[in-house]
Amino acid sequence: MLTVAVVGAGLMGRGIAGVFAGAGHPVRLHDVDADALHRAVDGLRGSERPVDGSTDLATAVSGADLVIEAVTENLPAKRDLFARLDGLLPEALLASNTSVLPVSAIAERATRPERVVGTHWWNPPHLVPVVEVVRGEYTGEETMERTTDLLASLGKLPVRVERDVPGFVGNRLQHALWREAVALVEHGVCTAETVETVVRNTIGLRLAAMGPLENADYVGLDLTLAIHEAVLPALDRSPAPSRLLRDLVAAGDVGAKSGRGFFTWPHGSRERAGEGLARHIARQLATAPDTPDGGPDGRPTGHPH
């Protein structure tokens, strides 16, 4: 049994704390916002889980074997936090839930940066199985192995990301799709509604059962190459965010939380969308075949590369 400290009591922090507490690990939650902290701790305690909280960082992390940081995506703030954690805990594993920032940069001011690792959880953390375990420039192999083993013991599906690239694996794939989706709307190829209809009713139906590289093998790499030669030169390759996206944000139309973005979001629709997404993920997990590494359903069992 490990003592786990989670720094940040927002949506992801309290969700991650709940996963560890649900597995029986004592958890301490920290946030500088006392109201947010109390709401999170009370919610988790309501589930009879071993969770405590403190607005004082040193108190919250005292004696922890593992600290997971889930604060705002701000590099100086994270770098300062890990420097403090390094001084407070000479032996603990120190993990960041950053989704895009370099783990190496977060660890820069730590005197023992080999203990710092990225653990990118996906929302909702209690449902999505994958956690990306990211090796920073200084992360030791023992840290990678201990972190991976611990996450697996929680029932998670840890995947190793061996290079500290922006966005890691999942967000690079996700935002490559999002960039093209925004470009199609920006350049008048189709409406935002059409993008949603096409994605949900074509590739969206297949992706949970067959990922992009397996699908490429399935249809044939010769066909994949021919399509790439025809399509890739026409895809959006801008190294900067789209002008349409910048204009929407500048106008305050930032999506569900403001009531308008690519779509109109009436009051309460964001919460309903989140609840619907959670139900959808739960249904998919309940009906998914238990053969992720190959087996009787004929899925591939490996790749020579």
pLDDT digits (tens, 9 = 90+) for 48-99: 569 999 999 999 999 999 999 999 999 999 999 999 999 999 999 999 999 9
Give the tokens for residue 249: 């944000």
Residue 204: count other Cβ atoms within 10 Å of its Cβ: 12
* Structure confidence at residue 1 (pLDDT): 87
How far separated are the first and last CA of the chain, in Å rounded?
38
Query: Residue 101 and residue 98: Cα distance in Å, rounded?
Result: 6
The CATH number that domain 172-240 falls under is 1.10.1040.10
Chain centroid to CA 68 = 13
* Structure confidence at residue 300 (pLDDT): 74
Measured CA distances, 3 to 28, 82, 85 (Å):
8, 18, 15
**Active-site hit among 62, 104, 123, 171:** 171
| pTM for the full predicted model | 0.91
- The pLDDT of 237-254, averaged and rounded, is 97
Active site residue 132: yes
Query: What are the residues facing 157 on neighbouring strands?
Result: 130
In contact, 86 and 110? CB cutoff 8 Å:
yes
Query: Residue 63 and residue 189: Cα distance in Å, rounded?
Result: 57
Q: What residue ranges do the domains of the chain occupy?
A: 4-161, 172-240, 252-289
What count of Cα atoms within 13 Å lies in the side-chain half-sphere of residue 193? 1
DSSP-based three-state secondary structure for 170:
helix
Residue 146: count other Cβ atoms within 10 Å of its Cβ: 17
Does residue 44 have a pLDDT over 60? yes
Does residue 294 have a pLDDT over 50? no
Fold (topology level) of 4-161: Rossmann fold (3.40.50)
Cα torsion 163, 72, 7, 13 to 10°: value is -90
**Active-site hit among 25, 54, 97, 120:** 120
Confidence of residue 298 (pLDDT cuts 50, 70, 90): low
Q: Rg of the chain over CA atoms, in angstroms? A: 21
In contact, 6 and 40? CB cutoff 8 Å:
no
In contact, 243 and 90? CB cutoff 8 Å:
no
**Active-site hit among 25, 97, 132, 242:** 132
Query: What are the residues facing 94 on neighbouring strands?
Result: 67, 116
- Listed in sequence order, the residues at least 6 apart from 8 whose beta carbon sits closer than 8 Å to its beta carbon are 30, 31, 69, 70, 71, 72, 97
Q: What is the pLDDT of residues 117-151, one digit of tens each?
A: 999 999 999 999 999 999 999 999 999 999 999 99
Query: What are the residues facing 93 on neighbouring strands?
Result: 66
Confidence of residue 168 (pLDDT cuts 50, 70, 90): very high
- Listed in sequence order, the residues at least 6 apart from 187 whose beta carbon sits closer than 8 Å to its beta carbon are none
Active site residue 120: yes
**Active-site hit among 54, 97, 99, 242:** 99
Query: Which amino acid does the sequence have at 290?
Result: D
Active site residue 171: yes
